[in-house]
Chain A
Amino acid sequence: MAAELHVALVAADREVWSGQATLVVARTTSGDIGVMPGHQPLLGVLESGPVTIRTSEGGTVVAAVHGGFISFADDKLSLLAEVAELSDEIDVQRAERELERAKAEDDAEAQRRADVRLRAATAAR
C-alpha cells in the first residue's frame, strides 16, 4: 500500500480540509508530534498552534488550530478543532491589527489567537 494517510481537518461548524497526506505535524500538550502512515493509534490533545500537512501531491497545507484533538487510527487521521483556519484564509493584516489591539488591551486569549494565525500564515510562506 502506498504510504498515505487520509486527513480530515474539521472545525465545529464545517469541514475545513480533507485529503491524502504523507505527514502531519501538530502540537500536542506534551510537544510537537509528527504522524506518518502506519503510526500507532493515537489520541491527543492539541495546543493552539499551526498544523502542517504535507499532501501526497507534494504540497503543504498549513492551518491555524485553536485547541482541539488529534486522533489517528487505521491510516485515518482526524484533527478536531473548535476553530480552524487554513493559512490562505487568514487575513495577515487583520491578524496583525488584532495582535496589536490584544497587546494594548492585555487580552491574553485574543493575543494567543492572533499569534497562532500569524505563525500559521508565515509558516505557509
Chain B
Amino acid sequence: MGAQLRVYKRRIRSVSATKKITKAMEMIAASRVVKAQRKVAASTPYATELTRAVTAVATGSNTKHPLTTEAENPTRAAVLLLTSDRGLAGAFNANAIKAAEKLTEKLEAEGKEVVNFIVGRRGVAHYNFRERRIAESFTGFTDDPSYADAKKVAAPLIEAIETETAEGGVDELHIVYTEFVSMMTQTATEARLLPLSLDEVAEEAKPAKGEILPLFDFEPSAEDVLDALLPRYVESRIYNALLQSAASKHAATRRAMKSATDNAGELIETLTRLANQARQAEITQEISEIVGGASALADATAGSDR
C-alpha cells in the first residue's frame, strides 16, 4: 500500500471514532433535553401561583416594601449569570456571557457598581481568566438543578438585597440566563428580579379579560405576607431560570454534536474519495510501470535480434 493511501486510511479511522463519540453525545443530550423540559413544566404551577400571589399583594395593598420600591439613586447592582459547568455546547456559554457583559456595561453607564454572582464553571473560568471580581460562584449542579440548589444560589442574593447599600448590600438584582424557546431556539435573556417592576409581574399573571383581582384579606398582615413571599418568589424565579438554562444547554449540546457528527460524516466521505483516488493512481502507476518495463524489454530483445 502506498504511503498516501495509508495516511488517508488512518485519518478515516480516526474521524469515524470521533463520529461515534459525537453521535453518542448527541443522543445523550437529546434525552436530557426532554427530561429538563419536563422539569420546567413541573415547576410551572408553583411559579404561576406564586406570581399571582405576589401580584395580589403588590397591587392589592399600599404596602411599601424595600424589595418592591426603587432606591432613589441606586449605586450597586447584583448580576447573576447562569452558565454551564461543561462546554461542547456551541455558543451557549459565549452568548450568556456576552449578554451579561452588555448588561454590565449598561449598568456601569448608569453609574452603578456591578457585583457578579456566577453559576457554572464556564462562567467562573471566563471571569477568573480576566481577573474580574466574583462575589460568589456556584458550580456542580447545572446539568440537573434541584430546588435546594436554587435556594443555595438565592440565599446570598436575598441577603445582599436586604443589606443597606452603604454596608455592602445591593439595590438591584438582575439575572442573565438562556431562555428555552424551543428545541432549535434558545436566547440569552436578562431580567430584573428586584426591585419588582409591577407592570412586568402583572403582565405575566394577567387576569382573564374582565376579571379583576380580588381584594385579599392578609393573614397575618400584608407586610408579613410580602416579607415571606418575596424571597420565595426570587427563589422560584431563579429555580425556573436554572431549569431553563439546563434545558437550553442540553439543546445546544445536541445541536453542536449533531453538526459535529454531520461534519465527521462529510469528512469521511471526502477522505474516502481521496483514498480511492490515491489507490486508483497507484494502480495506474503500477500498470504504466509494467507496460513501460515490458515495452523496454521488448525493444531490447528486438534490438539484439537484429
Contacts and interface: CB of A to CB of B under 8 A. Distances in A.
A69 B220 contact: no
B261 to A, nearest CB: 33
A13 B147 contact: yes
B299 interface: no
Interface residues of B, number: 31
A8 B48 CA distance: 12
Given A28-B219, A29-B220, A29-B224, A71 B42 contact: no
Interface in B45-104: 45-46, 49-50, 52-53, 56-57
Interface in B227-249: 228-229, 232, 235-236, 239
Contacts of B216: 41-43, 71, 73
A75 B225 CA distance: 21
A10 B48 CA distance: 10
Contact of B46 (A12, A30, A70, A71): A12
A100 to B, nearest CB: 23
B41 to A, nearest CB: 10
Interface residues of A, number: 26
Interface of A: 8, 10-15, 28-30, 33, 40-45, 68-71, 73-74, 78, 80, 82
Interface of B: 39, 42-43, 45-46, 49-50, 52-53, 56-57, 146-147, 150-151, 213-220, 224-225, 228-229, 232, 235-236, 239
14 contacts: A8-B49, A12-B147, A13-B46, A28-B220, A41-B214, A42-B216, A42-B217, A43-B218, A44-B219, A69-B53, A69-B228, A73-B56, A74-B214, A82-B151
